Amino acid sequence: MDKTLILEKIQQAVQLLNEYNVDLWLIFVRESTLVNDPCLDIVVGTHCTWQSAFMINRNGDTTAIVGSLEEPKYKLLGTFKNVVGYVHSAKEPIIEYLQKHDPKTIAINYSIDSSLADGLTHGMYLTLCGYLKGLPYLTRLVSSEKIISSLRGRKSPQEIEYIKEAIKIALEIFDMTGKFIKPGVSEKAIADFMQTEVKKRGLELSWEEDQCPSVFTGPDTAGAHAGPTDRLVEKGHVINIDFGVKYKGYCSDLQRVWYILRDGETEAPQAVKRGFKILTESIAQAKAAIKPGVHGCDVDDAARNYITANGFEEYKHGLGHQVGKVCHDGGCGLFPRWERYGELPFLPIEKDQVFTIEPRLPVAGHGVVTIEDMVQVTDDGCKYISTPQTELMLI
């Protein structure tokens, strides 16, 4: 746990409470190693056993109400100014805190569209409602979705540096992998090679080991979220890899694409080159559209419409997502107006959010052409924080 970063994010949470005119953010959890609220990783930095309430007030007060056996741990941790231990029940100290501060709005962690803002279990919600029954605070509960979305999305300078280092390491491993790939090597062997390089560095993968990296060679491969198979690299294949590493708790998420030359070829076939050209041009269209205040669906439109206008089928996923403590982070995304994304495509993009841009298109007989790079939103646009792939790599 980086205590300095935790305190930085708590202060940012206080600023957001004032920005959104919310008096109190209440994180209510138990046995969090079993059922973790993702917000604990951002503003608490450790887990709890008994029912625990973590209060962040717009006036700057931070109070943790925890089981008595864990009280010393939280005091030593030092991320919350006040630590209150209890023995029999968390109800009394929670009500005492609310009566003392009398918040008119209390944000709790539920959300329809964002899993990262939906950490309050139904059982804990019912418990909290039982505690507040007959008190005015029960009618003052609101969703913390906006607070969490902005808190996770607006990256601090230190968070950006951690992400950049995760990107740097991933790109180094991609370079090594490009030298490892050859005809006759399986997708699984490529994945094993990359995972070994991650372990040598003492790092973690950005997502589940059975799918990180995802390796796809040739046409008719498994779906985008499938793991590597025994399928062998062949001459004439397009091969793409989706991969990321985690550095000091922050992720990278990148994709790279190669073409495997046939005997006698010195460059990729025209169809593959055209696919790569249209793909990179669609990425440029999307990157130019990203700026604070723009809706993510409008950015997705820019890339999606360019690809289909040039005769390729549309990709069956969102154009990009935020990256941070987890690979798919934040609320706002570069998503199409599909029901499964709910309201997330219509949230405004904010400065210092970090997004992937990852369209894809199929080239018949060869495979899928796709690139994924990462950008940081600036005052009036965005900038790459990964070195973008601009040329089709040949093997």
Where in the sequence of the chain do the CATH 3.90.230.10 domains occur? Answer: 154-394
253: left (phi over 0), alpha (psi -120 to 50) or beta: beta
Q: What is the pLDDT of residues 263-284, one digit of tens each?
A: 999 999 999 999 999 999 999 9
Predicted local distance difference test score (pLDDT) of residue 221: 78
Angle between helical axes of 145-153 and 3-19 (0-180°, round to 10): 130
In CATH terms, the fold of domain 154-394 is Creatine Amidinohydrolase (3.90.230)
- Kindly state the tokens that stand for 179: 């030298």
- Kindly state the tokens that stand for 222: 């498994």
pLDDT at 382 over 70: yes
- Kindly state the tokens that stand for 306: 């360019």
Q: Report the amino acid identity of residue 169.
A: I
For 342, phi and psi rounded to 5 degrees? 60, -130
Where in the sequence of the chain do the CATH 3.40.350.10 domains occur? Answer: 3-152
Q: Report the amino acid identity of residue 235.
A: K
For residue 297, give the nearest of 239, 325, 339, 262 by alpha carbon. 339
Across the range 41-69, mean pLDDT stands at: 96
pTM over 0.95: no
Predicted local distance difference test score (pLDDT) of residue 182: 97
Q: Are 55 and 97 in contact (CB under 8 A)?
A: yes
Confidence label for 98 from pLDDT (cuts 50, 70 and 90): very high
Residue where the block lists tokens 């091969």: 239
Q: What is the pLDDT of residues 224-251, one digit of tens each?
A: 667 899 999 999 999 999 999 999 999 9
Compute the distance between CA of residue 79 and CA of residue 170 in angstroms, rounded to an integer. 31
* CATH 3.40.350.10 correct for 3-152: yes
Across the range 85-97, mean pLDDT stands at: 97
Across the range 172-188, mean pLDDT stands at: 97
Q: Please list the alpha-helical segments (H only) found in 39-144.
A: 40-43, 71-77, 91-101, 122-132
Confidence label for 387 from pLDDT (cuts 50, 70 and 90): very high
Compute the distance between CA of residue 268 and CA of residue 262 in angstroms, rounded to an integer. 9
Q: Are 258 and 394 in contact (CB under 8 A)?
A: yes
pLDDT at 331 over 90: no
Q: What one-character-per-residue DSSP string does 245-297 give?
A: EEETTEE--EEEEEE-PPTT-SS--HHHHHHHHHHHHHHHHHHHH--TT-BHH
Predicted local distance difference test score (pLDDT) of residue 212: 95
Predicted local distance difference test score (pLDDT) of residue 210: 93
Across the range 105-119, mean pLDDT stands at: 95
